[in-house]
Amino acid sequence: MIVTRRAMIAGGLGATALLGGTALTRHALSAGDPPEPALPPVPPGKIRWSNWSGLQSCIPNAIAVPADLNELQHVVRSASGPIRPVGAGHSFTALVPTSGTIVSLDRLNALVSHDPHNLTATVGAGVRLFALGEMLERLGQSMNALPDINKQSLAGAISTATHGTGRSLGSLASAVTGLQLMTADGKVIECDAAENPELFAAARVSLGALGIVTQVRLQNRAPLRVKRQTWFEPIASALAASETHSRDFRHFEFYYVTSTGTAYCIGHNETSEPDTQRKPNAENEGAEQLMMLRDWLAWAPWLRRMVGKGLIANQETETAVGPAWRLLSTDRPKRFNEMEYHLPRDALRPCLEKVIAAVERHDEVYFPIEARFIDADDAWLSPFYKRASASIAVHMGHTQNHSFFFSEIEPIFRSFDGRPHWGKLHSLKARDFQALYPQWRDFTALRAEHDASGRFLNSHLTGIFGTANS
């Protein structure tokens, strides 16, 4: 994201020579993050499920991968114990773990129908976003917005209100114009703004707690091609200009590059320019290089900051042109755990300044802090419900101790009336959410109506929604 490997090595060796290699050897951290902890053995005949980061895992009674609605209906009606749907497992909260049955939607991934005049498409809910982008391109369509990771499933992304960035662009759930939902008794219900409208308002962002989303109808647009531009500027400047930048670009976000005082800005605008060949994802290599900088210079935070700023000052910016689904969403192979909160837009600057100060008290943090912009929507449990928002996300390597997220970072987010991303780390419970969401009681009443016995709840969701009949 910020530096080439050659520049990083040169800078690190230069700092070592300047201050003496023995000091570096004596004081630097061991290279890399802690090793992954050993897990207990899996009983014979069982399979361990883990999420993408490895933070959440369980040994369910069964993992079902139905090929069609009939097979899914059989699973729902015959499974004993709780049922939890799963897509890509890219949530960091414990949405999936259960001792009952995990249902993968991976095979429910096909194009069902499309309308070339109105630019809509109905697809199986298990389709992955990278495959959906290519599918829609062949139809002469494109989604309006995409998140920055392309491995997520469509159902998982909309059910957690996953989003990209753009001040006039909502979350992925805001593009949904119809859903097919399988409830706890195996019944299939169609819902949209005209048919079962309350269920539609609830089901667009429902954490898999109302039922299993099996099909999704999307309102798309004509194929979107974008020009990507990246640049660096001091964080104070980026914060002051964030409103302007968010208006100048269709999609705008920035990262605070930890321990450097610098922001890495990314803007995309629609274009008709010819495609360019994009270099390998710089953000992925950047995280590795920032970890190296931490390891080499952990013994001298002031030097880490000086070297980091110097390396950034010599970096070239990037310009790339191509289909939006290729440039807005990418593969992120380096694993992490994440906390993200969504705030009233005018809270971005004061909140981020406090978050930066808190993060930089922890020298082990090397992942940048991300800031994005999202428009309001009307899904009952969307964090953007009737509120144009900015989001701030903090990350730690997947094996690092991130406990300070809860003790130091989350209280800052909450002091600015933040709503947590449903798929990312938080400690909130039912009483907290009731105060944050005007339609909370309506959602829980509808949830109890369609799943009276709590078949779609696990312990995490019981803490959020209460018992089935509460």
| pLDDT tens-place values along the chain, 470 residues long | 455 444 443 444 444 444 444 444 434 444 689 999 998 899 999 999 999 999 999 999 999 999 999 999 999 999 988 999 999 999 999 999 999 999 999 999 999 999 999 999 999 999 999 999 999 999 999 999 999 999 999 999 999 999 999 999 999 999 999 999 999 999 999 999 999 999 999 999 999 999 999 999 999 999 999 999 999 999 999 999 999 999 999 999 999 999 999 999 999 999 999 999 877 666 667 788 889 889 988 888 889 888 888 888 777 778 999 999 999 998 888 999 999 999 999 999 999 999 999 999 999 999 999 999 999 999 999 999 999 999 999 999 999 999 999 999 999 999 999 999 999 999 999 999 999 999 999 999 999 999 999 999 999 999 999 864 33
**Residue 284 pLDDT:** 66
Do residues 208 and 382 lie in contact, with contact meaning Cβ atoms separated by under 8 Å? Answer: no
**Residue 312 pLDDT:** 84
**Residue 283 pLDDT:** 66
**Residue 187 pLDDT:** 97
Architecture category of domain 225-420 in CATH: 3-Layer(aba) Sandwich (3.40)
Task: Count H helices and E strands in the chain, helices first.
Answer: 16, 18
- pTM for the model stands at 0.93
CATH hierarchy code of domain 111-222: 3.30.465.10
- Retrieve residue 443's tokens: 């959602």
Q: Dihedral sign, CA of 414, 420, 425, 427? A: positive
Distance CA 147, CA 421 (A): 13
> Where does the chain hold its CATH 3.30.43 domain(s)?
49-104
Question: How many Cα neighbours within 13 Å face the side chain of 331?
Answer: 5
Do residues 254 and 296 lie in contact, with contact meaning Cβ atoms separated by under 8 Å? Answer: no
Q: Nearest 5°: CA angle at 233, between 162 and 14? A: 110
Measured N-to-C along each axis, helices 5-19 and 282-297 cross at an angle, to the nearest 10 degrees, of 10
User: Residues near 121 by Cβ (< 8 Å), separated by ≥ 6?
Assistant: 111, 113, 114, 115, 135, 136, 139, 141, 217, 218, 220
- Retrieve residue 269's tokens: 């605008």
User: Residues near 171 by Cβ (< 8 Å), separated by ≥ 6?
Assistant: 145, 158, 161, 162, 163, 205, 374, 377, 379, 382, 384
> Where does the chain hold its CATH 3.40.462.10 domain(s)?
225-420
> Where does the chain hold its CATH 3.30.465.10 domain(s)?
111-222
Correct CATH for 49-104 of 3.30.1360, 3.40.50, 3.30.43, 2.40.128:
3.30.43
Count of Cβ atoms closer than 10 Å to residue 290 Cβ:
24
Among the listed residues 443, 461, 437, the one whose alpha carbon sits nearest the alpha carbon of residue 342: 437
**Residue 31 pLDDT:** 65
